[in-house]
Structures are given as structure tokens and as C-alpha cells.
């Protein structure tokens, strides 16, 4: 197997993830960026343009990948594609994150510096626990969900697949948040949230639909 992780993504989130992987003493071989990224570099890592490179890198013997894309749906789809091609999806965990020994992490998970994942929590594939966010005991973070920086989730909180909790969101104990939810920055979530809701505020309420 060729050495080095393939990072899918070449933007700001990819930079953070490359530094996490380097802090874990993993070498990053290539990034895969969009069609406009040809010939560029991301933190010194050569960027190949277009997802088609994933299959050719697999053919060349690269076996490990990490999806570093901010869009939750796209991260989930590209993660599934990488798995189907036979890549192992590695985790990118900051040495300055605190993970309970009883926490369970899936594949392709990012846990940034200062984040805390407490006892018996489960973090599903492709989820992001961003800088200084905390997931307290028995939390369940769904596939490709994103818990943005400085979020605070009390115990027994469940977050559905692909849901996004904006920066600084707080969630009281036992709340269930459905899939594909967007919670605005600074939300305080005090009741269960149905799937696909867009909420914000203190306490968090459904955002008014925009006029079309």
C-alpha cells in the first residue's frame, strides 16, 4: 500500500484536518479539490482537481482517505464513495481533544482541538466535533452531523444525520434533534427538533421562511 492519506477537500476545513492528521504523525499525500483547484496546494499538499482522481489513486495503491468537506450531505456521499472504492476512512483526532475511553467513534470522524466527548457517547461516521465543542455523557451524534465550535451538548442529547449545530449552540439534557436540521449560531435548544427544521434564537424557534 502507498503511504499517505488522501484528503478529499482542499478548502479551509481541509486545512484544519490536514493539521490534525499531521499532529497524529500521518503524512497527507494528496488533496482532491474541485475542478478549479488544478495545480494548487493546500498547506503544501498537492491538490488534484476532480473526484475522478479518487479511483485512480486507489488503483495506484493508496489505501487511506479522509473526507474534509464542510457540506454535510456531500461529505456523507463522498465518504460512502471512498468506502465503496475500498479506502479505509481514517479519523482525524486532535491530540488536544479529550475523548472518554468509553466513547465510540465511527469512521472518517474529525474531533478538533479542545473538544470533549464524554462517557458512553457515540459519534457516527463522517461527523465533525469542532473546536472546543463538548458532547456530554450518552450523546449520540448522527452520521455526517457537524457540531460547530464551542457548542455545548448536555447529557443524553441525540443529533440526527447531517444536522448542523451552528457555533456556540447549547442543548439541554435529553433533547432529540432530527436529521438535516440547521441550528443558527448561538441557539439554545430546549425542546425536541423535527427533521429538516431551521431554527435559531434563545430559546431556539423555527426561522421564518423567506419570501420567494
Phi, psi dihedral angles at 46 (to 5 degrees): -60, 135
SS3 96: coil
Question: Is 67 one of the binding residues for ligand COA (CB under 6 A)?
Answer: no
203: left (phi over 0), alpha (psi -120 to 50) or beta: beta
Site string (37-56) toward ligand COA, x via CB under 6 A: --------------------
CA-to-CA distance for 200 and 195, rounded, in angstroms?
15
Residue span 101-140 as binding mask against ligand COA, x where in contact by CB under 6 A, dash where not: -----------------------------x----------
Give min distance, CB of 188 to ligand COA, in A: 10
In this structure, what is the dihedral angle of CA atoms 117, 31, 36, 55, given to the nearest 10 degrees? -110
- In the complex, residue closest to ligand COA by CB: 184
Q: Cell numbers 491538490 label which residue?
A: 47
Site string (173-192) toward ligand COA, x via CB under 6 A: ---------x-xxx------
Contacts with ligand COA by CB under 6 A lie at 130, 148-149, 166-167, 182, 184-186, 200-201, 207-208
Amino acid at each position: 500500500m502507498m503511504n499517505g492519506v488522501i484528503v478529499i477537500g482542499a478548502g479551509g476545513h481541509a486545512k484544519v484536518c490536514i493539521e490534525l492528521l499531521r499532529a497524529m504523525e500521518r503524512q497527507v499525500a494528496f488533496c482532491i479539490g474541485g475542478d478549479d483547484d488544478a495545480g494548487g496546494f493546500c498547506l503544501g499538499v498537492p491538490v488534484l482537481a476532480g473526484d475522478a482522481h479518487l479511483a485512480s489513486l486507489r488503483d495506484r495503491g493508496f489505501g487511506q482517505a479522509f473526507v474534509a468537506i464542510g457540506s454535510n450531505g456531500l461529505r456523507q456521499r463522498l465518504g460512502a464513495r471512498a468506502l465503496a472504492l475500498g479506502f479505509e476512512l481514517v479519523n482525524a483526532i486532535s491530540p488536544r481533544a479529550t475523548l472518554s475511553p468509553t466513547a465510540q467513534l465511527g469512521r472518517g470522524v474529525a474531533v478538533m482541538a479542545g473538544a470533549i466527548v464524554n462517557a458512553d457517547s457515540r459519534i457516527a461516521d463522517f461527523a465533525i466535533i469542532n473546536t472546543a465543542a463538548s458532547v456530554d455523557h450518552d450523546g449520540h451524534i448522527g452520521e455526517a452531523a457537524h457540531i460547530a465550535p464551542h457548542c455545548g451538548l448536555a447529557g443524553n442529547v441525540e443529533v440526527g444525520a447531517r444536522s448542523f449545530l451552528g457555533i456556540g449552540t447549547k442543548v439541554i439534557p435529553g433533547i432529540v434533534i432530527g436529521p438535516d436540521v440547521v441550528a443558527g449560531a448561538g441557539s439554545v435548544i430546549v425542546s425536541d427538533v423535527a427533521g429538516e427544521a431551521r431554527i435559531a434564537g434563545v430559546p431556539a424557534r423555527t426561522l421564518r421562511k423567506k419570501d420567494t
